[in-house]
Structure formats: structure tokens, C-alpha cells
Structure 1
Amino acid sequence: MNMTTPTPELTRQQMRQSTCPYCGVGCGVDISCNVTGGAVSLDKITGTPEHPANHGRLCVKGTNLLETNDLKGRLLHPTVAGEKVAWDTATNLIADKISQTIAQFGADAVAFYVSGQLLTEDYYIANKLMKGFIGSANIDTNSRLCMSSAVAAYKRAFGEDVVPCNYTDIETTDLLVLTGSNTAWAHPVLFQRIARAKQRNPTMKVVVIDPRKTETCTIADLHLPLKGGSDVALFNGLLRYAHSNKQINSARVATYAQGLDAAIAAAKPWDLSAVAQYCDLDIEDVRTFFTWFSQAPSAVTFYSMGVNQSSQGVDKANAIINCHLAFEQIGRVGTGPFSITGQPNAMGGREVGGLANMLVAHMDIENEAHRTRVKEFWQAPSLCETQGLKAVDMFDAMALGKIKFVWIMGTNPVVSMPHRERVEAALRKCDTVVVSDIVATNDTLAFADIALPATGWSEKDGMVTNSERRMSRQRGILPPPGEAKHDWQIMCDVANKLGYLDAFSYSHPGQIFDEFARLTACENKNERLLNLAPLVGMSQTQYDNFSPLQWPLKEGDDGTLHSVRPFSSLIFPTPNGKARCIAVTPAQPTQRTCKQYPYVLNSGRARDQWHTMTRTGKTAKLHAAMPHATVTIHPDDAKALGIKQHSYAQLSSAVSKEEPCIFPVKLDKGIRKGDLFVPIHWSATWGSHSKLAKLYASATDAISGQPELKHAAVSLGPKTFNTYGMVCMREEDAPLFNQDCVSYWAKTQLENGVKWAIACEELLAESISAIVANIPKHWVLYQRKDTHSAQFFCTDKDQLCAYFSVGDSCMSETPHWQVPDAWVDSLLNQSLSAEDQSNLLYGKVDESFTQGPLVCSCFEVREKTIQAAVQTGCHSLDALGTKLKCGTNCGSCKPRLTEIIDDTLSELALPLATSLD
């Protein structure tokens, strides 16, 4: 009998292209895949060289996408009340709950809260189901929190939500104004494009307008550290200055814009002195900015959350747009008011009408002709007739018992919405809370009655639109894990069970996109710039192979599609074809400081994390540069309160009824006195006292409904404990650490385990007893104690499984027992030599781990190593890159490298080299 050995299946390499799922830059990514038989695995990720958004570059988050793409922590099965159920059971229950709610309380008792993480096709189905078939406009999105003020301002000024700029404009302009954006951290790939453009064109000027001196200021020719919330006065002052100096051609502006006289009249009180005083700026710096802008051949104002997240966000944006209209800085290369979105498909959500005050395809709910058109196109039985509830109002209505059913998709509002305690109360009050997500646990899923497993990046398949109106494909490469489904499929399943089979019978996302494209073109006689008629009728192959395109689109004589620059003809989508200047008046933030709450709290993004860390939090590389949230304080404020670097501070506000937030302290002269800054990403999942959103009131812009998330009034004080320390454990053993046994904890993901920074109200001996209480009996315990500290570690089968170090002195005093977690992490799961054991007990750290904070995440280069290189002659980024490789991959660390170079050269009394070369 002959025996044959089965031939092993060959593995072949395949390259697939997709789009990064993080910020609104919309970077293209190339993914090298290993294909063995029918199985696909992702091997390597790089930027797509030909993608117009990034030209092959990625930031540190994009570079580490594959590090976050495993199934650890994924939601893989539908659950009801925490118990696994079949899909039919879950979707039948959802359909029944929606039907019962409508029958008993009406359609407005139902709400959807969706996300800029959804693809355009998902967004379209959610909007169609809610507004056309359920019959309510109570569908809003987390994009309300980031760009709704920009949308409202564009509509007021231009008649349509159209971003009038391209990324190439920020490279070709003579003057770039960055306001309300720490671009270096929030949009690193664009920041690198700006830095290279400035290097190519030394006459290009960059102005940064921000209360903080951020990393973005490393390329600034002028930094205006204005008082938070004073933007309208600054740009009104610019308008007045130019008018007073006869630098505005009113007759010319009148040919394409109306309302200029009223806008100038509103700006009349804001002379240089008034602006400088109101904004708390140096008058000569204000004069310089006004001179540069009013005389610039071309100018772009690049603005983001610092403008939008305000109770006056719409007026701030319109004050900016007024200047661009008045100075004829629009419709040309290198010009325009450029709002940058924060999410990968916030723009796509705007296109399909994902906000409660929109219809679809840039049509309006209040417009009867638009409603009739959409109703007939959808064959909708009960199209909404009035605007729905915006995000904050939606959760307020939920808390009052008016909304009985809510479906939350792809977002974490308990963390991201203001007034967290109110949001939690709303979800407790709501009869039925459905959450579709990719993760099994987060702050919002804790309130879910029904949890549905959705697909994530690398599994999802559809379109996204970036900040410059460029549509790109996110492609499904891997099969959905477990029982996960695409969001559009889940909603279609529910729609079918509600009886709407014909309207939701799609088998491929390309069919959904085609329907959306047809709707943008329906009866669109140049009424709206969003017209995707040239994309109607794409085959599935054409859809699958779709290359990035910007709208508005024009078909050339040869049949190829081209993008058209918006407003190049200076004709706008308004009834008379003219843009509108809007008269605006400065107003103080809603959340005002007072004697009890004297500090202004600002918040924003950190370089290496994304939103609420459900993805980026999975990889140790993205924790290394900033292990947990800190509160940034001016040294003078800290000194007055007796607060030291790395000690703890507590923050409270008038709206928070629970215990205060507690964060480690970071001192920084670059922040205004009286201001504080905390990054947004860390939450109750990552820290016992990290519920930042609880400090913000539900203050919103009256027009856009966007929350005021850049300006809260808080109290600040030192927080001391009796015991401080750290706990490191292997990943599989992490549940053995009882977080309730300590007064404070902040969690960090390590390469081989998990670390908690801890603090206890109890004295040292009591704290030690509580911490080690859950150690398994079969672990071998090694310990060393003295009067003020203790170190102990445990081995399991001769391998290090846990390390504990505690003491009674504050972290700011760098006690001998405080050791780098990276060092301990390198020993976890390792067999320990006698020397290793002694080193752990006595805190004798390997020298390679004593080089200070991580700066370059890609190559794990630390601060002291960089400083030493500068001291020995590496006085430029190129020199550092050659010697240490730092800054040569994603470039996200370049602003920090520049700061280190300057600080080190300053200490050496050498000329500074502040350029991102």
C-alpha cells in the first residue's frame, strides 16, 4: 500500500489597499497579506505612495494599526442581558421594542446615536431607516461633538456644507493660520506636509492661535496664546483693521458676497487695543498677525476642535469665513477657511444626513420640496417632518423619560459626551439600550440591554470621505470574526423584521452607495455641489476597485473624472448665488470661572491615542510615550497651591456630584496661568478617577448644538495619599489584581502584561496586606521591606508573573523604589536569575531603561538618549535621524525632537535650530 504525504498549502503574498480608520486626514494604507488556502492574515502595513491624502506617510497610530487588530477583547456574539443569543433572537427583540415604543409613545421616543467611525453605507442605512421609515429625525452622531459648528457656519455662509479647500492649499499658501488645532498631534501627517512646505518655501508664514504653546508651535513664525473663547474678537479685529486701512475692496466683494457692511459694523468696536485686552495678547503680536493676513497674497485658516467645541463655535467659524470672503481669500489655490474633521468618516456622515438637523445628500428637513423628493425616492411611509434632537438634547430627553429606546452604534458617549453623570442617568432611565460595537466592554456597554457584534477595520467594506471631500475605500480583507456583522447588515435585518423588506434588500455595500449617489443627483440642477451623478451605475468590480476621488466631480471629454475646486467661479449654492458675511459679536464661554471654580479646563487629543482607546489602548507601543492622562498646570499656579511635578492633583466642577477627578501633574510654562489641560482619551476603563467628561456642563452652541468641551470652570488642589506604588502583572493574571483594594489606580498596557499606578489612603503596612491578598497560594513570593517602602514579586513555575513596589513618599520625589515599568515588563514571563531577583528587590534597573520618557515610539528612543546625541553634535532632525533613527518613520515625534534640540542647545548656550528639516 503506497502512502503519500499531503502537499502543504503554499502561502503567497498579496497586497491590499484600504484607508486608515483614525482621524479625518484619510490616509491610504497598503497592507501586505499572507494568503494560505482560503485563510488571510495581515503581515505589514505601510502608507499608500499614490494616495493624495498622505503620499505614503502614516502617523504612529497608523503605523501600528496591525498591532491593534487582534481579537483580544472583541465582542463576537450578540447578547441580551449579558447572555449569548442567536442573531434572530436579538434582531427580533430590537424590532419588537421599536414597534412597541412607537405604538405606545410615538416615533420620537426612538433614537439612534451613531458615529463618524461608520462607513458611508452604514450611515446611509441608519439615516434612511430612522428618518424615512421609523419616521423621526432623532438620529445624531458623535460628529456633533467635533464638527457640527463648522457645518452650520459653512451653511450660513455658503448655503451648503462645503469645505472649500484641498490639502494642497496648506502647502501652496503664503500664510497658514492654525487655530484651535494642535495639528502636530491631532493630524500628524498633515503637519508633516506643512513642515516640508515651509522648508521648501522659507517665505511661507505660519501663525498658531492657541491658549497653549503646543508641539505645533515648533513651526510657528508667530504664536498667539489668546484667552480661551476669545476667537470672535480676534477675527472681528482683523476685519476692522483691514477695513480701517482700506485693504478691503467692498465693491469687488459685493459681486459675490452680501452682508459685508453689517459684518464690518459688528467689528467696529474691535480695534487693536480692544482685541489685545480682550484676548489677553501683546498688541504688537496682534498687529503683526493682522498685517500679515491683510497683506498676504494667499491665506488658509486651518481650524478644528478649538474653534468648534464652544458655545459660540458657529460664530467663531463665521468670523473666520468673513475674513476670507472680505479679503478675497477663497476659491483660489492656497486660500480658504479649512475646517478639519476629527474622524475618518465625519464628512461622509454629513453627506448622507447623519445629523439630526439634516435630511440626506445635503437636503434640508425644513424644505418641503426636499422632503417630497426624498420621500418619493425612498418610497418612505413616514418621512420625518421636523428636526430631531441633537446629541446633548437627546440624552437629556432620555434622562427625562421621553426617549424609551436608543441604539448606539460605534461610539462611547459615556466617555465622550459632556456631563457624564447625566449621560449615565439617561442610559439607566432608558427602557431599551442597544449597543453595536466591536469590543466586549467599555464605559457605554456597561449600560447595554442588547449588545451586537459589529465588524471593524480590515473587515468593514465601504466608503469614507476625508476632510478635503475625498472619497476613499475601506476594504474588507478579513472575514468577520465570530458572529460579527456589518452595521448596514444588522440594520437591514431589523428593518426587514419591521416589515420594510423591499427598501432594505441589499446584498453588497456597492448597491447602497449607488442608491446614495442616485439620490445626490436626483433633481439636482446645480442646486447642490454634492452631486455624485458620474458615479451612478458603477459595477461591483468598479466599486471594489474605486480610486480616491474628490467631489464636486466633472467628467472630462475623455470620460475621466476630475475634481472641481469649490467656488472657483465665486458662485455659491444660495438663492442669489452669493455668499453671506455674518455679523457676529463676541460672547463669553457659558462655563464661567468664579471664586469656587477659578481655573479654565481645556481638553484635546494626545499624539499616540485615539478617542476612547478601544483600539489604540490594546498596544503597549502607543502607551509608552504617555502611559496615562495627566493634568498640565503652569508652574506658578502649581507653586501657589503646593503642587509638584508628578504629584497628584484633584479637579472638581459645579456639575460633578461624585468624587473629583485625579491626575498626575505635568508642569508646563507653555500653558496660560489659570488654565489646565487634560487629554480626552482615558476614561473609567483606564483609571479610577479619569472620568474627565463629568467636569463639563452640557453647555452647547445655540445654533449647532455642539458642546463646549474646551472651556470648563473647575477647582484645583493637591491630592495626597499615604501610600504610592505600582503593580505589574502578566496579561493572563491581571484579573487577580483587585482594583477595589486601592484608593486610586491608572492602568497602562504593557508588552507582556498590565501595569497599574496605584495610591492608597491606608498606611503602608495596611496597603501591602490588601494588595497581596489575592495572590494564588502556588505563587512563590519574594519580598523586601524597610520602614518606608516594600518591593515584592512573585514567580509561577520559576517565571516572573507579578511585581509590586510601594512606598510612603510621593512619586514626585522619585523614591528609590520607583522603577521603570518597561524594565519590569521586559522580565515578565521570564525565568529570573539570582541577579535579576536581587535587582527587582533593590530596584537596580538595567541602564537601558533609565533614559527617561519615550519620545520616538517607532524606534523606542528615549529623551536622555536624544539629549546626549544633541550634546555631542546632532543639532538637527536629520542628524538625530541618522544617528538614532528617531523621526525617520512616521515623523509624529518630530515636534518633540525639535523641542529637545532647542532646550538642549539653549542649556549649552548654542544657536537654536527650530525647523522640522
Structure 2
Amino acid sequence: MRQTTASTCCYCGVGCGVLIEHDGAHIFDVAGDPNHPANFGKLCSKGSTLHLTGDLDARALYPELRLGKGLARARTGWDSALDHAAKVFADTIAEHGPDSVAFYISGQLLTEDYYAFNKLARALVGTNNIDSNSRLCMSSAVVGYKRSLGADAPPCSYEDIELSDCLLIVGSNMAYAHPVLFRRLEEAKAKRPEMKVIVVDPRRTDTCDLADLHLPILPGTDVVLFHGILHILLWEGWIDRDFVEAHTDGFDELKRTVRDYNPAMVAELCGIGIEQLQRCARMIGTAQGFLSLWCMGVNQSTAGSAKNSALINLHLATGHIGKPGAGPFSLTGQPNAMGGRETGSLSNLLPGHREAGNAAHRGEVAAYWGVPALPDTPGLSAIELFEAVRGGKVKALWIACTNPAQSMPDQHSIHETLATCPFVVVQEAFATTETCRYADLLLPAASWGEKEGTVTNSERRVSHVRRAIPAPGEARADWSITCDFARRLEKLIRPGQPSLFAFEDAAALFDEYKLLTQGRDLDLSGLSHALIDRLGPQQWPFPADREQGTPRLYVDGKFPTETGRARFLAEHYQAPKEQREARFPLTLNTGRLRDHWHGMSRTGTAARLFGHVEEALLSMNADDMRRRRLLDGQLVRVRSRRGELLLPVQKDDSLAPGQAFMPMHWGNRFLKGLGVNRLTLPSVDPLSKQPELKHAGIDVEKVELPWQFFALVEGAVQKRFESLRPLFEGFAYASFSLTGRDRPALVIRAACNEAPDATQLAQIEQCLGLDEGPVVAYDDPRRAVGKRVRIEEGRIVALSLSGETAARDWLKQLWHDGTADQALRRWLLAPLSTPPGGAVRTGKTLCNCMNVSQEAVCAGIERGLDLNGLKRELGCGTSCGSCVPEIKRLLTKQPAVA
């Protein structure tokens, strides 16, 4: 019998409520929860396809153990797996000390999972070597809030988006990265056109289409811009002096600093016009409510902490904090990065927004946990942690729910590090991630829809994540795995003592953890799983004497600092680590796509999510391409100081000369060569230790690889992927993706200097199912060209082109249409390369929710449909709305016929 379970989305930090339709064993569908205050029923293209990401062929289902480097892992039982892990960790600690082991965890864990890991590392093992992948996305925002306001606490609510008078978006393509919130902004702007929206971004993204003002500053010059705005606010008298005098410290020093950031100097350094800068300052200075939203473009920088503080300075100077429609509001990248920060899951933190370097804080947590003391040696942040593994200081590494072999910068070094670490445990739901390759012990974890706990979203709202179905195979909840291991380790390193990990369920973990927040700025002591079920998701602080959460912080002008006053930070602009120069004349920016998320361990299992952008592409300005004689689709070599990567290039009008862009999602699984982070640098912000993932110097040159390969095969996609991927290691270029909706298929593109040997091609054809059966084949040995098409019941089910691939789009369209006509058969048996007929229709899916192609939209525009007409007739733009900016651009280029 079908039933519905209310839960929470597992992608970004918006924290959308979802309704899972299932029968207790299988998930059939997902919809937005109309009663959840984060999204009121709306979902983006990723959230609305969650039910399509449950391919068991991609999942880790059973514990697997490798008994020696170079050997294959073999299936084992949970008892033997965890006993082995406990012995290795105990022996390592006994011989080399507690800091010889480390834990690298994830913003995708639930709060209860986080708490279990923190207690394991600090109370039992005795190390602060526990860090999270939130170090890569949010740690500069953490430092910014703490230094300026006294606590890591975003003071705003999502409703402030509707209430704001002037909204500044910095370093975020919000339309792609946080689309549900962007829809709220679009609706608010439509109701109140007088609302001003400013977007600061080197690229002209879909987010900019809503802006009254777009400031395309040069990458990395954010501090200059913010100081320049404050310079004008001071000059024009747009400062709330009463608020500054009553509630802040350090303003005089900041005034001396920004005195030098005059409009002419700022405009030149930022690469914008003086009038644009002045207009921006006027919008902010005359607003009744000024709200700022920012994300990775601010945080992922060697000056990320300074950027955060300089932005918060604008709010303190104008008094736009602690009131409706105003405040500095960081957008969280992961579903529970906030929960990780709350539980102390960065190496410098402790639960309850405490500091690992603070003796009093350590004493409070140690007393609560009933242990003599917590370690006082500083823990290693993410970059430092992997450097310590590489240097042999860390000998046992536990990785949970994250994929550093795709997400960390300088991937060549990371892969070498993981390969040489004596013992690597990977606790993961998806066995297909790049990191799983290096696991000496692979522990299968429960995933979305299969686990219970809580998450905290960007507006400090705690939601209950409910289980709909059991985890497949022998997969277990993360907290359960962690506590089971901890109990076994206890017997080896503190025998005879009561267990610190006697938890029966996730609710028990939350109930113990929440009391560590009592009396702190984030007080969660009044919350419980049962209360959230009764009242709905709640914002902290929520003390035990409260009946509802706190929508807005600092309404009384009091801040959790030693003086009770907020602090202005006066820091000068520091340029990014790598500047453009003769050998590396372009600046590479990285970022998100609309329909994919992080390293694609989950979205990479849903074929329809490749419909909008199917493969990794390098985007460049048209002038930069022209100077290098590059054409759309040509293969290029992208080279940085750390390595190189081969991929196709495309013209992108959103980029200024000297800049390039590549999505963050492609790693070595989908793109041979270790993916985009083969190019990025491990330099970090000195305070937050967050790496500069969005700014690297590169060079680009055309690559001639005359022998090309293309294949498409449907059925058992993940299994075929796993068998085919290793066969392309010898190719110079290889890219993998999925396509289709009702009939998912694997797509392969590859190229090299000369044809591979016949044996290798035969292996590939065998894996594709093109070696026997109803296969039409043509070979031209002289030209090293081959064609293979498998036709079953009148339609194509697999195909390959070797040597040259001019007909690939035509064949892919025939597959998509489900046809195999006589023209195809004639072409197959003739020495023709180019397909018959005219131009091939585009296969791009513009609206993923409603399966509407770009071709259909263009055809509708030709028939005279406007945006509303397209929505009525095709359905595009009526669900998540992420396609609307792109449709508007098509309407501008191709106006509807009257």
C-alpha cells in the first residue's frame, strides 16, 4: 500500500521539505511539502528528481575489506569489518599517538551523525583531527560572523527576502545554486518592482537577469568593492551613526582604512564604471531594508574572511541588521553544513559553538561527556589533514559521506595521498565515488529516504529527516556505524569503563547533544524530534522555556561578544594568490550547474539531470577563443601550475575577456584526468583555512586528436559504466554521461592520436553489446573508421562510431526518437561520415521538470507564443522555474511573432 512520509531534501542548504511517496520498500515519487516553511511546496529540478537517484548498482551494499595494498576488496560481515577497523585504529594510536588518526566528514551527514563523530574523535580517541568538507564551502562565513558579530549565527530568515527594500547578491548564481529561494525573490520583485536587486559577479549568470544593477567586478576584488561602497556611504552621510555609536566598536579605524578607497581607485581595481559604483552605494544607502546574500564566490578565497567581514561592515555602518528585510545572510552550500558547525565538526570547534583552543570550553565539554580532558593540540583543517597524511603523520584516515578525490584542490596530490595512506576507511552510500577506489575498508551507509535525524538550514531552521524505507543490502545509518565502531574501540583503549556511545536511536543522540547548547547563542535545549513533529521545523535559538523558534537575531542591538557590541574589521585588499601572467593569461572560475550537485555521486545516477548540460565544457569569452583560433566543441588542453585537463571548449557571452569558467561537478569518474580540481590550488585563507577554489591561473590551447570515438548504450547503465570506464584509461580524452528519461543510456566520448589496438576496441564493443546479435556494422580499415548499431524491435539500443564521429548527434537523435529507418541502414553500409539530411535538432532539455526541449521552446516562439503562452502550452517554467531566465533570453533573441 502506498503511503507518504514527510522529510527533508538532501541537496543544498535551503532545507526544503519533501513528501516521499513509497510502499515501505520502494520510493516511487517525491513532491514539495506545502507545509514546510523553507519551500512551501516548491522544489528545484534536483529535489524533484530525488526518487530517480536510487540506482542500486551505484550503491555500497555490503562491507568490503582489503587485507593488503594492491589486493582487491572482498565482502565481509559487519562484525569482522568493525573489529578490524577498531584494531587498526587502536594499534595506530598505541604506537603513534591519537593524532596519528583523523576523521574527514561531511555537510551531508545529519546532526546526530556529526555529534557521534565528534564525541568519537575528541572524547574517545583524544584528537582534534576531525574536519568537514564544510571547510571547502562555509568556513570563511563562519569566521566572518564570529569576528564581526561574536557568533556563527546567520541573523536573518527567508522571509526577509520578501521584506527587503534592497537586496545585494554577491558571488552566488542563486538561480542555479539555490533556485527555490531565487523563486521567492522573483515573486517578491514581481509584487514590488520598486525593490532593488544588485548582483555582484564576474559572470553574467541567470541570476543577473533579475538585477536592476549587475556589477561584473574582476575576480577577487570584493573587498575593494565593499570598502568603496562604504567610502561613498560615509561621504554622502548614509550612515546610521546612532546605531554605530550604541552597538559597535572599531568604526574610526575602519573609516581611516576606507578613506583610500575612493571611487576612481575602486572602479579601476574592480573593472567597473564609477557611475555603477555610485549607483550601487545609493541603492544601499537610501534603502529602508538592506539584505545581502552570498555564497562560494565570497568564501572560496585566500581572502574569504576579509571579504565576509567587509560585507558585514556595510550592515553595521547602516544599521541594517536585526530588523525585517535586513542583515548579512550567507547561503549554505550543503544540507547540514550548519548542523556540522553547531556540533563542532570543524577541527577548531567544539559542540555548542565552542572553541577547541579555549580551555574553559574544553573543560565544559569534557565534564559533560564525563572524560578527564579533551585534547588541547589544535586539529588539522582539510588541506592540512591531507598534507599530514601525505607526510606520514596521519596513518589511519576515516572518510564519511564525502568525496575528497573529487572535491579537494590539487587532485593529483590528493590521489597520491590516498593511495599511500596505510589505512583508509570510507563510510559511503555510493560505491562509485572516486574516493571509494582507495578504501581499504568500505562501509555501506544509508542514504536519503533511509535514515532518521535532523538538519539545520541556512536560516537556522531545524527540520526532522524521516525514514521512508529501509536501507538496501546491509547499509546502516551513519550514527549507528560510528557508535558501533566506537564501542569496539572503547574495549581496546579504555577497557572496563562504561560506554560513551550507548545510544539506541538518533533521537537519543540529539537529546544528549542539545544540552551542550543550553545557555549558548544557538540554544537548542527546547527542541526534540517529537517537538519538531508537533510544531514543525523550528529556528534556533529555541531554549527550553520557548514555544517557538527565533526568526531574527540581534533585534535588541546586543551581540554575543565580550562587550556586547559588534565589531568593525578594517583590513586592506589582498589580491588572489594567482594573478594573470604570460604563461597563465586566463583566470579560471568554477561553479555550479542548474541540474547537478557537487561531485554527482547522486545526481550522476539520474539520466534526465544530464539533459541541460551533458558533458564537462570549458567556457571562454569569444575574443579569447578567436585569438586562439578555437571553435565551439573543439578539444582544448587547459593547463595550470598543478596539471592539465583535456575537454571541449564553448563560447560564453557571460564571461569577460581574460576569464574562463568550468563547472565544479566533473571529477575523474565522468572526465578522464581527475576533473576540474586537477587545476585548482590548495592555498587557503589564513584564518578560515578555506581553499581558493574559484581562482586559478590557466592557459588554453587547441588539441588535435584525429581519432575519435562515440558510443551510446541503454540498459544496466551503472553496471556498464563500471565495466567500460577502465577501458578508456589509455585515451587522451574520455568523457562519460547519461541521457534519456524513460530509457536511460550511457554516453561515451573519447579521442586519441591514433586508433587503439584491435583487442581494446573489441573489449569495448563487447561491453557495449555490439559484438554479436542484431548489429549492423561497417568497417573501413584504411581510414580506421567503424560504425556499429544494434537494432532491436525496430529501434536503436546501442551504437558506436570509431575513427570519426560526425554523425553522432544525428544518431543520438534517432535513438531518442526511437526510430531506425532505411536512411539509417543505407548510411551504415556506405563509406559516408556526415549524416544525411540537414541540420540536426538540438537535444538540449531546457525544462527538466516538464521535459521540454530547447527546440520545442524555439518552435513555440516562432508560432508567436510569449512566456505565459509557452508556460500554458508546453508547461515549461511552471514547476521549479529554473528554466525561465533562459527562456526569457530566447524570447529576446527570437521575439514572438505578433
TM-score, structure 1 as length reference: 0.91
Alpha-carbon displacement from aligned partner over 1:855-886 (angstroms, at most 9, x marks no partner): 1112222223212322332222x221012111
C-alpha deviation, 1:800, in angstroms: 4.5
Counterpart Cα distance in 2 of 1:541 and 1:437: 28
2:870 paired residue number:
880
Residue 563 (str. 1) matches residue 550 (str. 2): yes
Whether 1:652 and 2:639 are equivalent positions in the alignment is yes
Q: How does 1:778-793 map onto structure 2 within 5 Å?
A: 778-784=772-778, 790-793=786-789
Q: Secondary structure at the match of 1:31?
A: strand
Give 3-state SS (helix, strand or coil) of 1:40's partner. Answer: coil
Deviations 1:140-162 (A, max 9, x none): 00000000000001000111101
Residue deviations 1:105-128 (CA, integer Å, cap 9, x gap): 111111000000100000001011
In 2, distance between residues paired with 1:788 and 1:171?
62
Separation of aligned partners in 1, 2:283 and 2:793: 69
CA positional deviation for 1:794: 3.1
The Cα offsets for residues 425-480 of structure 1, whole Å up to 9 and x where unpaired, read as 22123211100001122211111111100100001110000000000011111112
* 8 Å contact from structure 1 (residues 17, 31) kept in 2: yes
Q: Which residue of 1 aligns with 2:749?
A: 757
Aligned to 1:516: 513
Partner-residue secondary structure (3-state), 1:189:
helix
Q: Provide the residue aligned with 1:489 in structure 2.
A: 480
The gaps in structure 1 that reach 5 residues or longer are 1-10, 911-917
Measured in 2, the distance between the counterparts of 1:131 and 1:772 equals 49
Deviations 1:13-32 (A, max 9, x none): 32210000000000000122
Match of 2:69 in 1: none
- Aligned residues of 1:273 and 1:283 also touching (Cα < 8 A): yes
CA–CA separation in structure 2 for the residues paired with 1:568 and 1:839: 72
CA distance in 1: counterparts of 2:460 and 2:341, whole angstroms: 11
* Residue 161 of structure 1: aligned partner: 152
- In structure 1, C-alpha distance between the alignment counterparts of 2:432 and 2:822, rounded to whole Å: 40
What is the 5 A alignment of 1:689-768? 689=673, 691-732=675-716, 735=723, 738-740=727-729, 742-750=731-739, 751-762=743-754
State the SS of the aligned residue for 2:281: helix
Match of 1:42 among 13, 16, 27: 27
Matches within 5 A, 1:197-346: 197-346=188-337
Instruction: Check conservation: 1:683, 1:690, Cα contact below 8 A.
Output: yes
1:618 matched to 2:605:
yes
| Pair 1:641–1:40, CA change in 2 (3 A) | same
- 1:195 aligns to 2:186 (yes or no): yes
Q: For 1:264 and 1:175, how far apart are their aligned partners in 2?
A: 23
Segment of structure 1 superposing worse, 216-225 or 689-698: 689-698
Please say if 1:15 is aligned against 2:4.
Answer: yes
Give me the whole-angstrom Cα distance separating, in 2, the residues matched to 1:309 and 1:632.
20
Partner of 1:5: none
Task: Spell out, residue by residue over 1:621-669, the C-alpha distance to the aligned partner (whole angstroms, 9 max, x if none).
Answer: 001111111100000000000111111121111122xxx2112112012
Given that residues 789 and 817 in structure 1 are in contact (C-alpha distance below 8 angstroms), is that contact kept between their aligned partners in structure 2? Answer: no
CA distance in 2, matches of 1:50, 1:163: 23
User: Partners of 2:331 and 2:168 in 1: how far apart?
Assistant: 13
2:111 corresponds in structure 1 to: 120
CA drift at 1:379 = 0.8
* Consecutive unaligned residues in structure 2, runs of 5 or more: 67-72, 491-496
After superposition, the Cα gap between the structure-2 partners of 1:236 and 1:397, relative to the gap in structure 1 and judged at 3 Å, is: same
The amino acid of 1:791's aligned partner reads K
- The 1:252–1:465 alpha-carbon spacing in structure 2 relative to 1, beyond 3 Å, is closer
Show CA shifts across 1:557-585 (max 9, x none): xx732425210001000111001010011
Match of 2:625 in 1: 638
- What residue is the counterpart of 1:903 in the other structure? 893
Name whichever of 729-738 and 672-681 sits farther off.
Answer: 729-738
1:428-507 to 2 correspondences below 5 Å: 428-499=419-490, 502-507=499-504
Task: Letter of the 2:526 partner, please give it.
Answer: P
Q: Which residue is 1:803 aligned to?
A: 799
For 1:188 and 1:394, locate their aligned partners in 2 and report how far apart those are by CA, in whole Å: 34
- CA apart distance, 1:780: 4.2
Correspondent of 1:591 among 572, 578, 591: 578
Q: Distance in 2 between matches of 1:57 and 1:420?
A: 36
Contact 2:363 2:373 in 1 (8 A): no
**1:662 and 1:690 in contact (8 A); partners too:** no
302-311 vs 237-246, which moves further: 237-246
Code of the aligned partner of 1:355: L
The correspondence for 1:111, drawn from 81, 102, 115, is: 102
Q: Does residue 526 of structure 2 align to residue 534 of structure 1?
A: yes
Mapped partners of 1:79, 1:765: distance in 2: 35
Please say if 1:138 is aligned against 2:134. Answer: no
SS of equivalent to 1:791: strand
Q: CA deviation at 1:209?
A: 0.3
Amino acid at match of 1:783: A
Aligned residue type for 1:228: P
Q: 1:404 to 1:544 in 2, by over 3 A?
A: farther
- 1:553 paired to 2:555: no
Cα distance change of structure 1 residues 44 and 849 upon mapping to structure 2, 3 Å threshold: farther
* Superposition map of 1:403-442 within 5 A: 403-442=394-433
Is residue 890 of structure 1 aligned with residue 880 of structure 2?
A: yes
- Per the TM alignment, residue 824 of structure 1 is displaced from its structure 2 partner at its CA by 2.1
Counterpart for residue 629 of structure 1: 616
Q: Residues of 2 paired with 1:273 and 1:185: CA distance?
A: 33
Cα distance per residue 1:13-53 (max 9 Å; x no partner): 3221000000000000012223xxxx433222110111111
Question: More displaced, 500-509 or 394-403?
Answer: 500-509
2:575 is paired with a residue of what secondary structure? coil
What is the CA–CA distance in structure 1 between the aligned matches of 2:759 and 2:887, rounded to whole Å? 40
Aligned-partner residue type, residue 750 of structure 2: I
The amino acid that maps onto 1:778 is E
Structure 1 letter corresponding to 2:59: R
Q: Which amino acid aligns with 1:411?
A: T
Instruction: Normalising by structure 2, report the TM-score.
Output: 0.93
Secondary structure, aligned partner of 2:509: helix
The letter for the 1-side match of 2:388 is: A
Q: C-alpha distance in 2, partners of 1:833/1:595?
A: 54
Distance 1:606 1:59 in 2: 12
Counterpart amino acid of residue 508 in structure 2: Q
Cα gap change, 1:292 to 1:477, in 2 (>3 Å): same
Q: Report the Cα distance in structure 2 between the residues aligned to 1:239 and 1:315, rounded to whole angstroms.
A: 15
SS at structure 2 position matched to 1:870: helix
> What does residue 681 of structure 1 align with?
665
**Matching residue within 589, 594, 602 for 2:589:** 602
1:741/1:771 contact within 8 Å kept = no
Structure 1 residue 850 displacement after superposition: 1.9
Give the residue type in structure 2 aligned to 1:748: S
C-alpha contact 1:552 1:565 (8 A) present in aligned 2: no
Q: Which moved more, 1:124-133 or 1:858-867?
A: 858-867
Residue 495 (structure 1) shift: 1.1
Distance apart, 1:853 and its partner CA:
2.0
